[in-house]
Amino acid sequence: MWLLKRFTAHQLVVPGSLLLAVAALLIAPLSGHMASYFAILFIAGGTAGALYTLVMLDVTNGVSSEQGMRRISCVAASYTAGGMLGPLLAGFAMEASLRWGYSLAMAVVTLGALAFYLKFPAHNRAS
Amino acid sequence: MTLRTNLALIIASSLLGGIYFCVVLPLGGLLMTERGVPLWQIGVLGGIPWAATLAVTLLMPGLLQRFSPRLLYVLARWFGFIAAVIFVGSNNLVLWALGYLLLGLSGGMAWVIGDALLATLPPPGQRAKVMSFYMFILNFNIILGPLLVAVIGTGNLAFILGLLIMLLNLLMGYLVRFPAAEDKKKGAAGFSLLVQIGLPIAGLLLVALSSGSFEGSSIKMLPVQAFSLGYSERLGALAAVA
């Protein structure tokens, strides 16, 4: 909330994604120490939730209520698809390496999404 | 009705729907385990709400093209209420599958419309504040739902309480006020409509996917990782909440 008073949702998507990727990568090395492990999980979980809020605000920025609903339905579908695919990917990755699999899988997904976002940022075009 | 009251109603309604979702899923799973239902069947049934949510969110742009948001919102609340009636009145697994399906449809429809109203109704300067507060409040679903099950137990009382929650939610669905209807544009339908809406925001959709991917896998896989790394079961569960 404090950040959103100073920056637009659009400006926060890139740092938010980078923070999530870094936090995801840090889960593995910090998993041996309980306090650090839970602290980084808390940060990563909070960042992932905040990213969803930022996307919601960004896609509805400057559009009508009905257009906003159509866009949000696409965001909700994408988020739900992620919720279904994420555990599948994490499961395979953890099979390969219990400690590093989860971290690497989530970091790759986050950075991949960020790269795509940077390539196609023209989200405010009327649709 | 003031804007503030309307926003409070939408947030409260989403919270109630979410609490019921988080009551019925663990409760259903526990009851089926007690009845000796095979784990794979419990898994399939547990996946129905998510699949229904995904399907209905994909269909929502087309539905919104044809029907008013108010009608769809009220319909969503009816689906939730009917699901609650099914869970109170039956032990039949096929009917439970129908209940889970209705619950998923209800959740997906109300999610899209509720979020859109909260993101577009407040004046632009207050939208971030409203959405942040809403997201903060929604976290209580995950805490309050399983907590209710833990306090009340797996008897029928939890389902009856759930029915009352969904009745209240249904009434709230009728009270929520919507902005005046806009002219419906005749245009693309089906997959073309999805492409038309999704393409300009494709980058953001991928960011939402990565966020959902992390959230989904943290709930299901982090407890497994924590437990396998030597932490206790309770700490494993805490890993998902964190």
| Domain assignment of residue A30, yes or no | yes
Mean pLDDT of B207-224: 82
Evaluate if residue B43 carries a pLDDT over 80: no
- Provide the number of CB pairs (under 8 Å) joining chain A to chain B: 254
| Domain assignment of residue B69, yes or no | yes
Tokens of A26: 């840090």
Q: Do B116 and A69 touch (CB under 8 A)?
A: yes
| Per-residue model confidence (pLDDT) at position B220 | 67
**Closest approach of chain A CAs to the CA of B72, in angstroms?**
12
Beta carbons within 8 Å of A124's beta carbon, 6+ residues apart: A61, A62, B200
Q: Do B170 and B234 sit in the same domain of this protein?
A: no
pLDDT tens digits for range A91-126 = 888 888 988 999 999 999 999 999 998 887 755 544
Query: What region, left, alpha or beta, does residue A45 occupy, with left being phi > 0 and alpha being psi -120 to 50 degrees?
Result: alpha
Q: Do B66 and B110 sit in the same domain of this protein?
A: yes
What domain range is A66 assigned to?
12-119
| Per-residue model confidence (pLDDT) at position B100 | 92
Q: Do A13 and B204 touch (CB under 8 A)?
A: yes
| Per-residue model confidence (pLDDT) at position B77 | 96
pLDDT tens digits for range B73-129 = 999 999 999 999 999 988 889 999 999 999 999 999 998 888 888 888 888 778 888
Query: How many domains is chain A partitioned into structurally?
Result: 1
| Domain assignment of residue B197, yes or no | yes
| Per-residue model confidence (pLDDT) at position B164 | 95
Q: Do B145 and B120 sit in the same domain of this protein?
A: yes
pTM of the model: 0.80
| Domain assignment of residue A6, yes or no | no
Q: CATH number for the domain including B103? A: 1.20.1250.20
CA dist B204 and B199 (Å) reads 10
Q: Do B159 and B233 sit in the same domain of this protein?
A: no
| Per-residue model confidence (pLDDT) at position B174 | 94
| Domain assignment of residue A2, yes or no | no
Query: How many domains is chain B partitioned into structurally?
Result: 2
The closest of B128, B143, B178 to B9, measured between CA atoms, is B178
Question: Is B115 at the interface with chain A, CB within 8 A?
Answer: yes
Q: Do B10 and B67 sit in the same domain of this protein?
A: yes
pLDDT tens digits for range A4-61 = 667 777 788 899 999 999 999 999 999 888 899 989 998 998 899 889 888 988 888 8
Beta carbons within 8 Å of B71's beta carbon, 6+ residues apart: none
Residue pointed to by tokens 């009856």: B160
Radius of gyration of chain A, Cα coordinates, nearest whole angstrom: 16
Of B125, B147, B178, the residue that ends a domain is B178
What domain range is B17 assigned to?
3-178
| Domain assignment of residue B184, yes or no | no
